[in-house]
């Protein structure tokens, strides 16, 4: 007490302060300590009795009645000159969707038409020339034929006369009234006349044959030219058919236009998706999703899923309710997935360069929500979620106590592993 100031000694000795408590810890510190204690106790309770879900994340697309939207693709390349549908429009099967200008085929068709026109004009001129040539040759053939017929007629008359003379001379020879020389001379004249008749007849036949050959030759030339024209016309008809078939892009099925991916003037090629067509009133919906192939044993049918459409903000509207229906045991190829989706762009987007597992996920409907689907809490977004919407999918594959996760982390931190 020697070092204690007198004033202080006085206060300590005063009986007026003996009943007052000494505050060693301020009230604020006590509140903080109590809060920390409560937090530690709550953390320990949660660590031992709480639950942390383990999720498997995948990507997928919303399908109606287990089917993807039908894609409409052209069979030819070229710019779109007409787009005849709008989004939401209902179309019938074989309805005209778009027209594509086929520049190359149109050029070939125009060239073909021009060539046909030129060849037909040439054939018309050729036929006119042949008609003139035939008219001239016919006049010549008629003159030659008339001369031959006249020679034949005169020869036959002379032959008849010579035959009578020969017969008379042979009778006179038997009676000795003429010599054998005279009979031989008469026979020679008769034979010569008959030969002349035969030669004239042969010339008449030859003239007629030449006339027919001339006609046939000119007709063959015309026929060959006509065949060339017909072949060119057939080629033109084929080109016209290709232009008509290829230019007109038609709907493969009846339904509603869900998506239009191109515009007028866009240059497209075979395989380009112009529009997608979905069913008008689908009866059910499901998700077709892909997951990493290391989830083959962890994801099983019946597990709950959280489905997040890419067009919906999870922070505002949450996620759709779903349940795993099935999952493949083996990885699926791009060809297999594309055969289901009929959309190579979507297939590539979902799969990338991986070989994932394919899962089907049931989606719960709720007519009381604007979207038409049930959500994990709340009503979901104020708009419809339509078929073809891409989604992210979380599957709750396991629940573990937090302590089971904390202890391995501490062991690793302290270097006690292994």
pLDDT of residue 295: 80
Residues above pLDDT 70, as percent of the chain: 83
Residue labelled with tokens 């016309």: 233
Give backbone dihedrals phi and psi of 312, rounded to 5 degrees, phi first: -120, 135
Which domains are present in the chain? 54-71+283-399 (2.40.30.170), 103-246 (1.10.287.1490)
| pLDDT at residue 325 is higher than 70 | yes
| pLDDT at residue 372 is higher than 60 | yes
Chain length of the chain: 418
pLDDT (mean) for 231-245: 87
pTM of the model: 0.50
pLDDT of residue 224: 93
Contact by Cβ (8 Å): 88, 256: yes
User: Which comes out higher in pLDDT, residue 401 or 303?
Assistant: 303
Q: How confident is the model at residue 329 (pLDDT cuts 50, 70, 90)?
A: confident
Report the 3 state secondary structure along the chain.
CCCCCHHHHHHHHCHHHCCCCCCCCCHHHHHHHHHHHHHHHHHHHHHHHCCEEEEEEEEEEEEECCECCEEECCCCCEEEEEECCCCCCEECCCCEEEEECCHHHHHHHHHHHHHHHHHHHHHHHHHHHHHHHHHHHHHHHHHHHHHHHHHHHHHHHHHHHHHHHHHHHHHHHHHCCCCHHHHHHHHHHHHHHHHHHHHHHHHHHHHHHHHHHHHHHHHHHHHHHHHHHHHHHHHHHHHHHHHHHHHEEECCCCEEEEEECCCCCCEECCCCCCEEEECCCCCCEEEEEEECHHHCCCCCCCCEEEEEECCCCHHHHCCEEEEEEEECCCCCCHHHHHHHHCCHHHHHHHHCCCCCEEEEEEECECCCCCCCECECCCCCCCCCCCCCCEEEEEEEEEEECHHHHHHHHHHHHCCCCC
The rounded mean pLDDT for the chain is: 81
Identify the top-confidence range among 26-35, 50-59, 256-265. 256-265
Convert the pLDDT of each residue in 100-135 to its tens digit: 988 888 888 899 999 999 999 998 998 888 888 888
User: Which comes out higher in pLDDT, residue 361 or 144?
Assistant: 361
pLDDT of residue 124: 92
Identify the top-confidence range among 52-61, 139-148, 382-391. 382-391
| pLDDT at residue 394 is higher than 80 | yes
pLDDT (mean) for 184-205: 84
Convert the pLDDT of each residue in 251-299 to its tens digit: 988 888 888 989 999 999 888 889 988 877 666 788 999 998 888 788 8
| pLDDT at residue 220 is higher than 80 | yes
Q: How confident is the model at residue 322 (pLDDT cuts 50, 70, 90)?
A: very high
Convert the pLDDT of each residue in 62-77 to its tens digit: 887 666 778 888 988 8
Q: Taking the CA of residue 80 as centre, how many other CA atoms within 13 Å lie in the half-sphere pointing to its CB? A: 25
Which residues sit opposite 122 in a β-bridge?
Answer: none
């Amino acid at each position: 007490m020697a070092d204690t100031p007198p004033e202080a000694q006085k206060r300590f000795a005063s009986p007026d302060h003996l009943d007052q408590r000494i505050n060693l810890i301020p009230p604020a510190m006590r509140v903080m300590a109590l809060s920390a204690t409560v937090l530690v106790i709550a953390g320990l309770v949660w660590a031992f009795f709480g639950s942390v879900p383990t999720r498997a994340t995948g990507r997928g697309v919303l399908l109606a009645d287990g089917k993807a939207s039908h894609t409409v693709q052209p069979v030819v390349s070229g710019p779109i000159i007409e787009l005849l549908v709008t989004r939401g429009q209902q179309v019938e099967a074989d309805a005209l969707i778009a027209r594509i200008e086929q520049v190359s085929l149109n050029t070939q068709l125009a060239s073909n038409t021009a060539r046909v026109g030129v060849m037909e004009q040439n054939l018309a001129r050729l036929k006119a020339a042949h008609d003139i040539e035939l008219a001239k040759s016919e006049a010549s053939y008629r003159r030659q034929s008339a001369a031959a017929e006249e020679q034949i007629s005169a020869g036959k008359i002379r032959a008849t006369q010579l035959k009578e003379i020969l017969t008379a001379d042979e009778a006179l020879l038997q009676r000795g009234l003429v010599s054998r020389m005279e009979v031989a001379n008469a026979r020679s004249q008769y034979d010569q006349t008959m030969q002349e008749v035969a030669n004239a007849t042969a010339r008449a036949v030859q003239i007629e044959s030449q006339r027919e050959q001339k006609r046939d030759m000119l007709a063959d030339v015309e026929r060959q030219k006509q065949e060339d024209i017909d072949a060119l016309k057939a080629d033109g008809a084929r080109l016209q058919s290709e232009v008509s078939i290829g230019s007109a892009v038609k709907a493969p099925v009846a339904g509603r236009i869900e998506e239009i991916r191109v515009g007028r003037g866009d240059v497209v090629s075979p395989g380009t998706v112009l529009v997608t067509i979905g069913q008008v009133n689908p009866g059910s919906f499901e998700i077709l999703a892909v997951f990493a192939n290391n989830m083959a044993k962890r994801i099983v049918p019946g597990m709950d899923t959280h489905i997040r459409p890419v067009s919906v903000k999870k922070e505002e509207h949450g996620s759709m309710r779903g349940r795993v229906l099935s999952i493949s045991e083996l990885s699926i190829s791009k060809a297999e997935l594309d055969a289901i989706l009929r959309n190579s762009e979507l297939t590539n987007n979902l799969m990338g360069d991986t070989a994932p597992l394919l899962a089907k996920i049931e989606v719960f409907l709720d007519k009381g929500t604007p979207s038409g689907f049930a959500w994990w809490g709340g009503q979901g977004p104020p708009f419809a979620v339509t078929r073809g919407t891409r989604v992210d999918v979380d599957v709750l594959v396991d629940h573990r106590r937090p302590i089971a996760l904390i202890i391995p982390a501490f062991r690793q931190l302290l270097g006690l592993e292994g």
